[in-house]
Amino acid sequence: MKQPKVYTFKNNKLTAEVIIMAVNVALIIFIVIKVYQHPLIALFLALLPATFLYFQVYVVRVINQFNEYDRGKQLIISDGREVATLIYQDQTLVLNRADLVRVELYEQKDMGKFGKYDYMVIYTIDDKKILITKFTVPSLLYDKIIETFLSKVPRVYFKKQFNYIDQQKFPQAGLF
């Protein structure tokens, strides 16, 4: 017998990411100080840590954004996979499969160590937009229970290199 599936937001810590950023900055400064008399060599040697720093800044921004938009969310999908309940702070939203108009899935191209940050936007009949990130549903795009709940709902896939949440669609964090 199927059981209701509960997904709960898991806060992603930034400690390791900030330490890696600090090490990259220190390495760039060290290189520039050591070979300041040879600017071309300094530029060449600092290029690799600067590239890593660029991607680390991206990772920190995405983690902050995903934490902000999904913090405190809980998604419960019923045992029949027909109804989902979304709880965010003091708000509760019950979604029936029949109330869903379309789903937009935003998948990030794999960036190796720098992670893969995916999210989805669910549109309802009454013009609500529900954002769910992989911090609430870890295997978001490949989760069988989510896939079953969203079956027969039209989907649009977007694959992006840098998967920031669109600030035009979601000017502030919230349930919808």
Per-domain residue ranges for the chain? 1-176
Spans of the chain, pLDDT less than 70: 1, 112-113, 173-176
Domain 1-176 coded CATH 2.30.29.30: yes
Separation of alpha carbons 166 and 130, rounded Å = 13
Torsion of CA 90, 94, 99, 104, to 10 degrees: 60
* Amino acid occupying residue 19: I
| 31, 38 contact by CB (below 8 A) | no
How confident is the model at residue 162, as a pLDDT? 82
Are the beta carbons of 69 and 12 closer than 8 angstroms? no
Among 154, 4, 150, 142, smallest CA distance to 74 is for 4
pTM for this model (two decimals): 0.81
For 115, what's the count of Cα atoms within 13 Å in the CB-facing half-sphere? Answer: 21
pLDDT value for 96: 92
Note whether 65 and 164 are within 8 A (CB).
Answer: yes
pLDDT value of residue 44? 86
